[in-house]
A and B are shown apart, each in its own frame.
Chain A
């Protein structure tokens, strides 16, 4: 009962601090209020802007259809919060329950939510990264700068790395009529996220749209002129390209440096937390008053062998923020697990890409609907005889069905016939991930229920 009492006291007059004022932080704060939190609320964010949406930055914003400062997130409700924007959190005193800000201010909390997200991984050589013409794309300011430069009509754009962000940037460049070279270390675009079979489709899409796609190469150096402007890029195969814009799309780094020495289990891969979003300390003991959500969180997912997953997905940020906020003001059995099934989308080269589940866990793949050759298909991924993921190109409306198959651990390959008879009898092929670090035999876990309060998990231990 003591714990219940504490949660109730906190709900009524506690002080909640949310560090990170982007999607996860905002949605968590709104959920706190929505669920009856009447205490004081402080929002801390390092960017001097109101919370904004990032997915449009690499799409509509780069195309000039939406201004870079025009993607402010819609508000679900009034927050009645104290905002500390434009100042980063610099440290955490766990014992004293205080967040230290970069300007020296200290903010006390009763409960803390960490939602500091991630930032773009910069080009590895600082002097080259500083050249005029070298960009990353993560923030609205990044997008404003890059859009301005693209609008000026550079002769050739180099995109370093063909992940989702890199591919979307290349797509926007082509739509603007710009010459673009994509350099990708792997054998195909998106190969790390979707595997080689689907990656080959992405490669064909890029080339069909006029991208100079070069796989199996790395960029070894960026070269500037005397005025410090980017002029040339050197590739590992000896080629040199004249470029005046290079966009670095080498993934993201989690913003955990401010937690160094705090005693939390925070590192380059994120802040570890339990499925209820409570942070672990360095001993692996779960904390009571510190919660984590969004890109910066690493939490175990029962459906995927209890692996700690870090998900840089928009939907994950929202769902995890809602669970974290709910659990901040709940106790005991009222707390919920974050059982969100990973899902994300992308738009590139006129194709809508959607994914559900965790494709990189897949060892085999079957095209269940449509055809790879038409760039319109659903590819289902199997892992040890069950559904683990599905990826759709321009077929996103079917994915809810596959979500159900993944949640119920349905047998793979699928035994059913469906509407698209062309794919009947297709045999599974290797999904062709570059590094198939597959987990070993574990328990079978399935999800059931629909509304957040009734989501339940069934655990079937593996035979000894």
Chain B
């Protein structure tokens, strides 16, 4: 079996429910050149090395023009007329935009923002679980794991929750283009994504203008008001940043929570422990980020110089895929990597990436998942999976169940 077919298998929807044996095979060669000139990196130390390597660009404009030819197309960062957001930019532009976006969200300027959301997050979770009353089966994705983070990101950004139906379609189209599977209409997906991102941008530009005139305590208001002429986002930058945060805030956490419920129902003894000791949620979510990460691979990096690594030279201009879900199961880094061990020591997983692009929303995602899983564990009596494995979303990059049917006997208050 060649490596190229191995990567094809990973992308193949048929293997979405359990890609981990394929990752194990991929790790036999830490850095491999795939068909189409993509370099796949699958081992922990090589991935962390490249995450901190200033010769690796996140800007698709650094890709060699010929790269991406072949059966594995390279999906440009954000196919759109809008300029890239900071996830698709390098320093110093990236640093400036991220710093300004961080101002109203975290340290050093707003260190308590996420902490202060705890009560509101708990209320939202309680409300969603209260709505399970009178039912014996729910879809954890549609009834819980999706609406929860969407409500949170809307509130945080200052986007009306009732517009969800509109931007959900756009967001789905944008992340569908992250799917590198060439079998089904990649060019169509790319076109649709471009259109969707523009429309989402227009929508958010309108909101930003409203917030500029009548600011609230949300991020859009903070980003439009700025702090002096040198340290402020331009109107276009506000839009690209808001698009990024809205999509990232509602296409990733849903998978973290759904993967978490699935994992706990497959490990009932850990579910019981979580019910008895809620403090376990903190290390448990870290282990979840290692064991079933919502982002499986980072397909957007490019070498800007020849890089010698693990016996291979990645040439300048070559696309690089960092298979973080594989790195987090590397037995050279984690003992017994295929076991779910909530109290695993020294758990420096790759679930949030690393380096300057380390997940912007990580503190919020952690808190959301901790609260969501703790409350579900506490309130659902005798929960069990209706089907295992559940049906998965198509996307191999942002991987998670499309539906997760869970039956239960009682609902605690």
Instruction: Give the B-binding residues of A (Cβ under 8 A).
Output: 350, 368-370, 374, 376, 378, 395, 397-401, 404, 416-420, 422, 450-451
* Residue B355 lies at the interface, judged by CB distance under 8 Å to chain A: yes
In the complex, whether B100 has a CB less than 8 A from a CB of chain A is no
Interface 1/0 per residue, B40-71 and A, CB below 8 Å? 00000100110011111100000000000000
Closest 7 pairs (CB-CB, A-B): A418-B54, A400-B52, A419-B90, A401-B52, A416-B305, A397-B356, A417-B305
Taking CB atoms, residues of chain B closer than 8 Å to A416 are: 55, 305
* Chain B: CB-nearest residue to A347: B108
A370 CA / B358 CA spacing, docked (Å):
19
Q: By the criterion CB–CB under 8 Å, are B95 and A376 in contact?
A: yes
Q: Which residues of B contact A404 (CB under 8 A)?
A: 49
Contacts of B305 in A (CB 8 A): 416-418
Q: Give min CB distance, A40 to chain B, whole Å.
A: 25
Complex CA distance for A428 and B82, rounded to whole angstroms: 39
In the complex, B91 has a CB within 8 A of chain A = yes
Q: Does B332 contact A (CB under 8 A)?
A: yes
A417-B305, A419-B55 known; A401-B49 Cβ under 8 A: yes
Residues of B near A376 (CB, < 8 A) are 92, 95
**A417 CB contacts on chain B under 8 angstroms:** 55, 304-305
Q: Are A450 and B45 in contact (CB under 8 A)?
A: yes
Is the beta-carbon distance between B355 and A418 smaller than 8 angstroms?
A: no
Asked whether A397 lies within 8 Å of B355 as measured between CB atoms, the reply is: yes
A376 to B52 CA separation, bound complex (whole angstroms): 16
Interchain CA distance A416-B308 in the complex, whole Å: 11
**Complex Cα distance A343/B55, Å?**
22
Contact, CB under 8 Å: B304 / A419: yes
Are the C-beta atoms of A450 and B332 separated by less than 8 Å? yes
Is the beta-carbon distance between B48 and A400 smaller than 8 angstroms? yes
Show the binding face of B for A, using Cβ within 8 Å. Answer: 45, 48-49, 52-57, 90-92, 95, 108, 304-305, 332-333, 354-356, 358
**Given A350-B108, A419-B57, A450-B332, do A398 and B356 touch, yes or no (CB 8 Å)?**
yes
A369 CA / B358 CA spacing, docked (Å)? 18
Docked CA distance A378–B53 (Å): 13
Q: With A350-B108, A418-B304, A422-B92 in contact, is A398–B52 under 8 Å at CB?
A: yes
- Chain B residues with Cβ below 8 Å from A450 are 45, 332-333
Q: A416-B305, A417-B305, A450-B45 are known contacts. Are A401 and B54 too (CB-CB below 8 A)?
A: yes
- A78 to chain B: closest CB distance in Å? 15
With A416-B305, A422-B92, A450-B332 in contact, do A398 and B54 touch (Cβ < 8 Å)? yes
Number of A-B contacts (CB under 8 A): 55
Q: Chain B contacts of A398 at CB under 8 A?
A: 52, 54, 355-356
B299 to chain A, nearest CB (A): 18
Q: How far is the CA of A369 from the CA of B57 in the complex (A)?
A: 14
A370 surroundings in chain B (CB, below 8 A)? 91-92
Rounded to whole Å, the gap between the CB of B51 and the closest CB of chain A is 8
Residue of B nearest to A394 (CB): B95
A450 to B57, CA, bound (A): 25
Q: Which residue of A lies closest to B57 (CB)?
A: A419
Residue of B nearest to A374 (CB): B92
Q: How far is the CA of A418 from the CA of B304 in the complex (A)?
A: 7
Query: B355 — which chain A residues lie within 8 A by C-beta?
Result: 397-398
Tell me the bound Cα distance from A417 to B56 in angstroms: 10
Q: Which of A368, A374, A416 has the most CB of B within 10 A?
A: A416
The verdict on A419 contacting B48 (CB below 8 Å), with A370-B92, A397-B355 known, is no
Taking a contact as CB atoms closer than 8 A, the residue among B45, B91, B332 that contacts A369 in the complex is B91
Q: How far is the CA of A368 from the CA of B53 in the complex (A)?
A: 12
Note all chain B residues with C-beta closer than 8 A to A420. Answer: 54, 90-92
Q: Does the CB pair A419–B49 fall under 8 Å?
A: no
Contacts A370-B91, A401-B53 supplied; 7 other A-B pairs, CB < 8 Å: A378-B54, A397-B355, A398-B356, A399-B52, A401-B52, A404-B49, A417-B305
Instruction: Looking at the assembled complex, report how far the CB atom of B334 sits from the nearest CB atom of chain A, in whole angstroms.
Output: 11
A341, chain B: closest CB distance, angstroms: 14
Residue in B45, B92, B354 whose Cβ sees the most chain A Cβ within 10 Å: B92
* Across-interface contacts of A401 in B (CB, < 8 A): 49, 52-54
What residues on B are CB-neighbors of A418 within 8 Å? 54-55, 304-305
Measured CA separation A404–B90 after assembly (Å): 21
Q: Which residues of A contact B108 (CB under 8 A)?
A: 350
| Residue ID in chain A nearest B89 by CB atoms | A419
- A376 to B356: give the CA distance in the assembly, Å: 13
Nearest-neighbor residue (CB-CB) of B56 within chain A: A419
Residues of B within 8 A of A378 (CB): 54
Task: Give CA–CA (A400, B355) in the complex, Å.
Answer: 9
**B356 to chain A: which residues have CB within 8 Å?**
397-398
Cα–Cα distance between A404 and B49 once the two chains are bound (Å): 8
Closest to A399 in B: B52
Contacts of A400 in B (CB 8 A): 48-49, 52
Can you list 10 pairs linking A and B with CB atoms under 8 Å apart?
A370-B92, A378-B54, A398-B52, A400-B48, A401-B53, A416-B55, A417-B304, A420-B54, A450-B333, A451-B332
Chain A residue at minimal CB-CB distance from B307: A416
Alpha-carbon separation in the docked complex, A399 to B355 (Å)? 9
Query: CA A417 – CA B305 in complex, angstroms?
Result: 6
Contacts of B54 in A (CB 8 A): 368-369, 378, 398, 401, 418-420
Alpha-carbon separation in the docked complex, A417 to B317 (Å): 12
Chain B residues with CB under 8 Å of A419's CB are 54-57, 90-91, 304
The smallest beta-carbon distance between B60 and chain A, in angstroms, is 13
B52 A397 Cβ-Cβ under 8 A: yes
Q: Give the shortest distance, in Å, between A94 (CB) and chain B (any CB).
A: 36
CB distance from B249 to the nearest CB of A (A): 22
Distance in Å: Cβ of B52 to nearest Cβ of chain A: 4
Q: How far apart sit A202 and B333, CA to CA, in the bound complex (Å)?
A: 38
* A207–chain B nearest beta-carbon distance, Å: 19
Q: Separation in Å of the A399 CB from the closest CB of chain B?
A: 8
| Chain A residues within an 8 Å CB radius of B57 | 419
CA distance A67 to B108 in the complex (A): 19
